[in-house]
Amino acid sequence: VTIDSELKQDFQVSVSETGPTTINSEKTFDATTDAQVLNFGDKINGYEMDSLTLEFKSYAGSADINLDNASLNIKKADGSSLGSFTLVPSTNLQVINLKQFDDSNVVITLTFDANSTQAIADAFLADNKISIAVSASVDGQPADFTVEAILYLKVSGSLAS
């Protein structure tokens, strides 16, 4: 049996008027928090990562504040790195205007190369979880917002007892 699973984490960000303007946060994506995955018990025989989406929500702050630097580090349960991804600046995005992305409900979809996808799948198979560490900075303050991250997985296994 193969099922689709969505693992969601919200990164709450608050940059005060006095700073600092750098953001560091880490969240764990645990497949066993999905009730359907939990039904497999120890009979999971494979994971396949489809994608990771990011959406900026609940922005409060000046209209001209941008996320001007952001990267993700994907880690195994033991903390070792599975790979890094630079969100901004990149070929596709130089900055993310927080108000504009929130107002327009922009969803950024990240896909990974085959090696990274396999490494992430292997990490899930070993521990049923990974973590994502975000490092970012904004070019002004104050700013409050949420980054909703959803990891889309396909989970295969047996439901037989």
pLDDT tens-digit readout, 91-126? 889 999 999 999 999 999 998 889 999 999 999 999
The whole domain housing 121 covers: 2-157
Rounded to whole angstroms, how far apart are CA atoms 42 and 49? Answer: 19
Mean of the per-residue pLDDT values of the chain: 94
- The answer to whether 122 and 115 have CB atoms below 8 angstroms apart is no
Q: Is the pLDDT of residue 87 over 90?
A: yes
CATH code, domain with 120: 2.60.120
Q: Which whole number is the average pLDDT over 42-58?
A: 94
Place of tokens 């979880």: 129
Residue carrying the six token digits 């327009």:
104
DSSP state of 103: H
What is the predicted pLDDT for the residue at 93?
Answer: 92
pLDDT of residue 160 exceeding 80, the answer is no
Q: What is the mean pLDDT of residues 36-60?
A: 93
In the predicted model, is pLDDT for residue 161 greater than 70?
no
User: What predicted TM-score, i.e. pTM, was given to this entire model?
Assistant: 0.93
Residues in the chain: 161
For 125, the enclosing helix (H) or strand (E) is helix 114-127
Structural domains of the chain, count = 1
- Average the pLDDT over 115-142 and give the result: 95
How confident is the model over 139-161, as a mean pLDDT?
Answer: 92
Beta strands in the chain (DSSP E): 2-15, 22-30, 44-61, 66-75, 81-88, 96-97, 107-110, 129-138, 143-157
Share of the chain above pLDDT 90, in %: 86
**CB distance 75 to 82 below 8 Å:** yes
At 155, the pLDDT band (50, 70, 90 cuts) reads very high
